[in-house]
Amino acid sequence: MPPTVRPVISWSTDFRAGFRDLEGEPVFGMLIAADNKRSDEHGERLTQATASIPSAILWLLFATLTITVISLGICLPRKNNRGQITTLVAITALLTTTLCIIRDVDRPFEGIINVEPTAITDAERQATRDFLTTHPATELP
């Protein structure tokens, strides 16, 4: 008989179901508060990992910048325009860099910044080690 695949959320549901046996005990309130805090922090981490600026808006900003630079380039005088071209190139570089930085800061788990999930990886490694030490004959789900 193949093992049944349980949804990822089921462990949390099972965890909370275990609280029902402790109702009325003094430690029950502490466990509920800790579980609520864990749940709130999980939601906050998900919110932080989600980009707040949609990709369509960023592409619209890049397209607007491109159109603006091309329009300004067309309007430059044909002769004696070294200063204007230098200024246009500098402003274009600054605006493009600013948009790239905004995109990278808005998406911390990808791009140049790329924050690695080291804390959760360490916690997972420690939990696995502790579980296997306590229950050597059992496989992790």
107's tokens: 């998406």
Cα–Cα dist 60/86, whole Å: 25
**Model pTM score:** 0.51
Query: For 5-48, how does the pLDDT look when each residue is reduced to its tens digit (9 = 90+)?
Result: 444 455 666 666 766 676 666 677 777 777 788 888 878 877 77
pLDDT at 110: 73
Cα distance between residue 66 and residue 125, in whole Å: 47
Q: CB under 8 Å to 82, separation ≥6 — which residues?
A: none
* pLDDT of 94 strictly over 90: yes
| Model confidence band, residue 136 (pLDDT cutoffs 50, 70, 90) | confident
pLDDT at residue 60 in the model: 93
Return the pLDDT at 128: 84
Give, in degrees to the nearest 5, the angle at Cα 114 between 104 and 119. 135
How many secondary structure helices (H) and strands (E) does the chain include? Answer: 5, 0
- Predicted confidence at residue 34, as pLDDT, reads 79
